[in-house]
Chains A and B, each alone.
Chain A
Amino acid sequence: MSTNHETVPFEEAMTRYEPIIGLEVHVELGTNSKMFCSCSTTFGAAPNTQVCPVCLGLPGSMPVLNRVAVESTIRIGLALNCDIATWCRFARKNYFYPDMPKDYQVSQYDEPLCTNGWLDVTVATDEGPQVVRVEIERVHMEEDTGKLTHAGGATGRIHGADYSLVDYNRAGIPLIEIVTKTVIGTGSLAPAVARAYVTELRDVMRALGVSDVRMEEGSLRCDANLSLNKPGEGWGTRSETKNVNSLRSVERAVHSEIERQAAVLDSGGRVIQETRHFQEDTGRSISGRSKEQAEDYRYFPEPDLVPIAPSLAWVEELRATLPEVPSVKRARLQNTWGINEFELATLVNAGAVELVEASIAAGVDPAAARKWWTGELLRVANERGVELSELPVTVAQIARVEALISDGSLNDKLARQVFEGVLAGEGDVDSVIAQRGLAVVSDDGALLAAIDEALAAQPDVAEKIRSGKIQAAGAIVGAVMKTTKGQADAAKVRALLLERLGVSE
């Protein structure tokens, strides 16, 4: 294994070479059961507790295809503008490896379910946003393998390990593989295009609800293929970079591989066809398995399964369930909510778009809905390490709080305390308000008493205000807010104060 540290700076490399990229994305479908048996797919269960004769590949066991997995794959294909096959089969991919219960993987080979699609992605350039159409070669289904953990040894790989452990909980989880056609002509935008493509794909999956697409948990994995060639010359040899586990890494992996290959080519060397492993810490990749001698997987049609033959009616039925395309939806939301690209990106990254939409539908003001979801609630979600949608708060509760704010019963500070109580499981909005005593003090008599007290305590300030220095009123208002523990409407306090002192603004 050799690590080539020689690189050519990206901008310089781009003056001499054109990159060609190709992306293979694996998405774990979020079905309740595995692809060919009824075992659970829940992430994080104790090793080998979600297994049965079928996903363990025990002698005599046979697969039965999960209909929901087919449905999800067809919906993905439709969302990516693919043709859906009217008849296709699974194949066996034969190779020996201990993470493979049967020593073959049931996959689709020359008869994928979806072919020939595209996805438009937007990248930022100096001249503004640019739309790039990424063409999709195929979307096919396959079963995941078990997960190996290698103990001991220096590399964390199977060779040199003291022993290895296999967890077959992952074996048989439905995977789909989305393969792009070669993406040419993107030049120095190639790393950004790769990132934008995977991001857009993630958003599409999320909108379809077919996967939780969490790169850190491996439910979305990306392999980036890259080759360089001099302008006007034939295509170069490609490498395949694996272990790219975040959107940022997708961009960095392509970026660094351009720098590495350029150095190889500059020195008169030859790019080796190989698998490379991306290293998060260094932002570089290390050489893995050579693919110079293509492995012979001896594919043949899987005789234990019958062909998939989706009827036109079924496909149309599924087409009708497609959500709005994320990019189109984003443009629409930007427009109707009157927000800029950056504000929208914040919502998208927070996973708050649907929640904000739902809140607005429940009657919350758009600005307020965005403020709550990307402010206080996002802070709590991050603190707890959960998705926004997993927080124990409903859009109805947000609508109730907003209604109380607009009728003056709550202010911002109190509202935050209401959410704190709701999130702590203290009950619904009104019961939290009742239990914590959070209502705004609106009794004029009580407020006037507090104002008089504050004026008596700070006679010099009172004098300043009387003499027309109205900006000094803040000190008195602050004191009143303190006395009332924040449960007063500051604007109202200010108005009462000025009236009391007989001055006007």
Chain B
Amino acid sequence: MNSVDADLIRQSASVLAAAISEGEVSSLEVTKAHLARIAEVDERVHAFLQVTSEEALAAAELVDEKRRSGAKLGALAGVPIAVKDVLTMRGVPTTCGSKILEGWRPPYDATVVARLRAADMVILGKTNMDEFAMGSSTEHSAYGPTHNPWDLTRIPGGSGGGSAASLAAFEAPLAIGTDTGGSIRQPAALTGTVGVKPTYGGVSRYGLVALASSLDQAGPCARSVLDAALLHSVIAGHDPRDSTSINAPVPDVVAAANRGDVRGLRIGLVKELGGAGYQVGVLQRFNEAVELLQGLGAEVVEVSCPNFDYALGAYYLILPAEASSNLARFDGMRYGLRAGDDGSNSVEQVMSISREAGFGAEVKRRIMLGTYALSSGYYDAYYGQAQKVRTLITRDFNAAFDKADVLISPTAPTTAFKIGEKVDDPLAMYLNDIATIPVNLAGNCAMSLPVGLAPADGLPVGLQIMAPPMADDRLYLVGSALESALTDKWGHLLIEEVPSL
């Protein structure tokens, strides 16, 4: 092993992939190193709900065999990856962080999972999440919270806290997340990692257990912009099994990440995303990053998106409405938990008792909100109005993208908070996603990448880059340029500063 550091778990996915394809290291060695790391630290981090060691080792051996036989390998062949437990994987328990799905083994692979396999990647296991992706801290998992590797007493963000924490704890070099209102980007921000929500329809939702169908989108989680781009290009692209999937070529995100250039680009600062409610240290690091971008040759302009002020309200009507319908199927009749079936209860009662026993408080809260919002007589006032706000937000984005090539904002208003701090205050929890939600409502794309540690608490701060639909490559163009400049400044990626566990 010449070019590869002895410490395999700290390598980037691109370096690992190159080393594997050159035969400098085997996929089996890389996989074993990560499984060992998981065994060593995951009791404290709890990023994983399920570690599929045997399957991972078998997959790694297969890749090594393929390489030895001289077959052509993909850009990420042999590289291990963690998958959020909201995507189906044939024969492997998929819980979505909920008791109601305990023991369910899907008979089919999600398209994203199938594409990882087709790319010869090695799936290490399924990561922890807020129940059915409802939450911003991973505390709403029925299987206990995930801890932030930067400070184990703190949350890693959510709902994809498990995927983000697995990267920051060096348990996996890459992970898959899903983002309905910020569940990839906010955990990325809070763990000093990179996360991308692709354009809605850019990555297939087939096999992604739906929270809110019109908002959900799977995307890449990584420790660097280039790694995210490599994973993005593996999972993106049209899927005939998902009617909402876009049938058009995937933007060349890898080329953009390799180029990394903001010269002449107009970067819009969104007036409504920042200021009051944002932590001082977050704004400080954000503003420094803006200056850095200007220094790199970008033209920074201020844009206003006045309807973003209504985004949170609209989101908390549309999401629960769709979720109340999507989660109806968990009724104890066909799979998962069944309770109260002792012969004395009717079928309706068994459904009701099973749902009562199987769902957590946050899930029940949102199902009730959504059921109410869709009720006859209230539909127009709630769901109908929210859809109008959604249109207005899309228009705000369109107007802003007339003035700027990309928009930027802090990803989250604060750094990682303490476990238990906001768990009983749903509104405070919801506010975490104030800057990430507009993108989901409009269906365009965004990235979060680390821009430093907040001086007061020494915790990572994330910057969000937003681009128009199907202009995902711009995220990587800007993200890569900013990451290079920051790496030059610090001498390494921010993730290198994470305390050892």
Please give the residue numbers on chain A whose beta carbons come within 8 Å of chain B beta carbons, in ascending order.
53, 56-65, 92, 94, 96, 98, 101-104, 158-159, 164, 294, 296, 298-300, 303-306
Indicate if the CB atoms of A64 and B379 lie closer than 8 Å.
Answer: no
> Nearest Cβ distance between residue B208 and chain A, in whole angstroms?
6
Give the residue of A53, A94, A294 whose beta carbon is less than 8 angstroms from that of B328.
Answer: A94
Within 8 A of A (CB), among B326-375: 328-331, 333-335, 346-348, 351, 371, 374-375
Complex contacts, B101 vs chain A, CB 8 Å: 59
Complex contact B383–A300 (CB within 8 A): yes
Docked complex Cα distance between A60 and B335 (Å): 13
User: Nearest chain B CB to A33's CB is how many angstroms away?
Assistant: 14
What are the 10 tightest A-B residue pairs by CB atom distance, in nearest-first order? A103-B328, A298-B374, A303-B213, A303-B214, A60-B207, A59-B209, A60-B88, A60-B209, A102-B329, A296-B376
Q: Which of these, B87, B88, B96, B371, contacts A298 with CB under 8 Å?
A: B371
Q: In the assembled complex, how far is the CB of residue B75 from the closest CB belonging to chain A, in whole angstroms? A: 26
Pair A303/B322 contact, Cβ less than 8 Å: yes
A62 to B335, CA, bound (A): 18
Find the A residue at minimum CB distance from B239: A62
Pairwise interchain contact B383-A64, C-beta atoms closer than 8 A: no
Q: Which residue of B lies closest to A37 (CB)?
A: B241
With a cutoff of 8 Å between Cβ atoms, the chain A residues found around residue B212 in the complex are 303
Which residue of the partner chain A has the closest CB to B372? A298
Interchain CA distance A298-B331 in the complex, whole Å: 18
A42 shortest CB reach to chain B, Å: 22
A98 (CB) vs chain B CBs: closest residue? B333
Nearest chain A CB to B178 CB, angstrom units: 11
New A-B pairs, 13, CB < 8 Å, besides A299-B379, A303-B244: A58-B88, A58-B108, A59-B104, A59-B329, A60-B207, A94-B324, A101-B329, A101-B334, A158-B347, A159-B346, A164-B347, A298-B376, A300-B374
- Asked if B392 is at the interface (CB within 8 A of a chain A CB), the reply is no
Given the interface pairs A94-B328, A103-B329, the reply to whether A306 lies near B243 with Cβ below 8 Å is yes
Known: A59-B101, A300-B383. A96 touches B348 (CB 8 A): yes
Q: How large is the interface on B (under 10, 10 to 19, 20 to 34, 35 or more residues)?
A: 35 or more
Contact residue among B94, B240, B347 (Cβ-Cβ distance under 8 Å from A59): B94
How many A-B contacts at CB < 8 Å in the complex?
A: 99
- B207→A298 contact, CB < 8 A: no
Contact call B241/A298, Cβ cutoff below 8 A: no
Question: Given the complex of chains A and B, what is the CA–CA distance between A194 and B438 in angstroms?
Answer: 54
Identify 20 residue pairs between A and B in the complex whose beta-carbon atoms are under 8 Å apart, listed by A's number.
A53-B106, A59-B88, A59-B94, A59-B209, A60-B88, A60-B206, A60-B207, A61-B108, A62-B205, A65-B243, A98-B347, A101-B329, A103-B331, A104-B328, A298-B375, A300-B321, A300-B379, A303-B212, A304-B244, A306-B244
* CB closest residue in chain B, given A304: B213
Which chain A residues lie closer than 8 Å to B371 at the CB level? Answer: 298
Per-position 1/0 for B298-332, Cβ under 8 A of A: 00000000000000000000000110110011110
Complex Cα distance A306/B383, Å? Answer: 19
Which residues of chain A are within 8 angstroms of B331 by Cβ–Cβ distance?
A: 96, 98, 103
Q: Decide: A92 and B325 in contact? CB cutoff 8 A.
A: yes
**Which B residues lie within 8 Å of A92 (CB)?**
325
A104 to B322, CA, bound (A): 12
Give the contacts of B85-109 with A (CB-CB under 8 A).
87-88, 94, 96, 101, 104, 106-108
Taken together as a complex, chains A and B put the C-alpha atoms of A53 and B348 apart, in Å, by 24
CB closest residue in chain B, given A65: B243
Cα(A62)–Cα(B334), bound, Å: 17
Q: Determine if B208 and A60 form an interchain contact, defined as CB atoms under 8 angstroms apart.
A: yes
Inter-chain contact B334/A56, CB cutoff 8 Å: yes
Collect the chain A residues with CB atoms within 8 Å of residue B107's CB.
53, 58
Chain B residue at smallest Cβ distance from A97: B347
> Contacts A94-B374, A158-B347; is A59 near B106 (CB within 8 Å)?
yes
Within 8 A of A (CB), among B76-132: 87-88, 94, 96, 101, 104, 106-108, 110
Within 8 Å of chain A (Cβ to Cβ): is B55? no
**Interchain CB contact under 8 A, B243 and A63:** yes
C-alpha gap A305/B210 in the complex (Å): 13
C-alpha spacing A106/B376, complex, angstroms: 18
* Complex contact A61–B206 (CB within 8 A): yes
Residues in B whose Cβ lies below 8 Å from that of A62: 205-206, 241-243
Q: Which residue of A lies closest to B244 (CB)?
A: A306
Let me know if A94 and B110 touch, CB within 8 A.
no
**Least CB distance, B245 to chain A, in whole angstroms:** 9
User: B243 — which chain A residues lie within 8 A by C-beta?
Assistant: 62-65, 304-306
* Chain A residues in 8 Å Cβ range of B208: 60
Contact among A56, A60, A158, A303 for B87, CB-based, below 8 A: A60
Identity of the chain A residue whose Cβ is nearest the Cβ of B213 in the assembled complex? A303
Could you mark each residue 375-400 of chain B with 1 if its beta carbon is under 8 Å from any beta carbon of chain A, else 0? 11001000100000000000000000
| CB-based nearest B residue for A166 | B333
Inter-chain contact A102/B106, CB cutoff 8 Å: no
B415 nearest CB across to chain A (Å): 33
Contacts of B88 in A (CB 8 A): 58-60
Bound form: Cα–Cα A305–B213 in Å: 10
Residues of B contacting A296 in the complex (Cβ-Cβ under 8 angstroms): 375-376
- Contact residues in A for B379 (Cβ distance below 8 Å): 298-300
Contact at B328–A58, with CB atoms within 8 Å? Answer: no
Q: Which residue of A lies closest to B347 (CB)?
A: A98
What sequence of 0s and 1s flags, for each residue 227-259 of chain B, a beta carbon within 8 Å of any chain A beta carbon?
Answer: 000000000000011111000000000000000
* Bound CA–CA A96/B240 (angstroms): 29
Question: A61 and B376: CB pair below 8 A?
Answer: no
Which residues of B have CB within 8 Å of A64? 240-243
The closest CB in chain A to the CB of B242 belongs to A62
With a cutoff of 8 Å between Cβ atoms, the chain A residues found around residue B324 in the complex are 94, 298
Pairwise interchain contact A96-B328, C-beta atoms closer than 8 A: yes
- Give chain B residues whose Cβ lies under 8 Å from the Cβ of A59: 88, 94, 96, 101, 104, 106, 209-210, 329-330
Give every chain A residue within 8 A of B329 (Cβ-Cβ): 57, 59, 101-103
Q: Which of B87, B96, B351, B375 contacts A96 (CB 8 A)?
A: B351
Tell me the minimal C-beta distance from B134 to chain A in angstroms: 15
Q: How far is the CB of B347 from chain A (nearest CB, A)?
A: 6
Closest partner residue, chain A, to B110 (CB atom): A60
Task: Please state if A60 and B375 are interface contacts (CB–CB under 8 Å).
Answer: no
Docked pose: A245 CA to B348 CA in angstroms = 29
**Cβ-defined contact, A104 with B325, below 8 A:** yes
| Closest Cβ neighbor of A103 among chain B residues | B328
A58 CB contacts on chain B under 8 angstroms: 88, 106-108, 335
Q: Closest A residue to B216 by CB, please name it.
A: A303
In whole angstroms, how far apart are the Cα atoms of A65 and B96 in the complex? 27
- The CA-CA distance from A35 to B106 in the complex, in Å, is 22
Q: Least Cβ distance of A490 to chain B in Å?
A: 68
Is the pair A60, B334 in contact by a Cβ cutoff of 8 Å?
no
How distant is B380 from chain A, measured CB to nearest CB, in Å?
11
User: Separation in Å of the A31 CB from the closest CB of chain B?
Assistant: 17
Residues of chain A within 8 A of B322, CB atoms compared: 300, 303
Chain A residues with CB under 8 A of B346: 159
Inter-chain contacts of B104 with A (CB < 8 A): 59
* Cβ–Cβ < 8 Å partners of A158 in chain B: 347
The CA of A438 and the CA of B426, in the complex, are separated in Å by: 91
When chains A and B are docked, how far (Å) is the Cα of A299 from the Cα of B375? 8
Q: How far is the CA of A303 from the CA of B321 in the complex (A)?
A: 11
Q: How far is the CA of A299 from the CA of B348 in the complex (A)?
A: 21
Give the CA-CA distance A374 to B329 in the complex, in Å: 51
Q: Please tell me if the beta carbons of B376 and A300 are within 8 angstroms of each other in the complex.
A: no
Closest A residue, CB atoms, query B352: A96
Report the Cα distance A412→B327, complex, angstroms: 69
B172-213: CB near A (< 8 Å → 1, else 0) gives 000000000000000000000000000000000111111011
CA A58 to CA B101, docked complex, whole Å: 11
Fill in one digit per residue for B421-461: 1 if any A CB lies within 8 Å of its CB, else 0: 00000000000000000000000000000000000000000
A53: chain B residues at CB < 8 Å are: 106-108
A491 to B324, CA, bound (A): 83
CB distance from B22 to the nearest CB of A (A): 37
Hey, which chain A residues are within 8 Å of B94, CB to CB? 59-60
B470-487 interface code vs A (CB 8 A; 1 in, 0 out): 000000000000000000
On chain A, the residues within 8 Å of B106 by CB distance are 53, 58-60
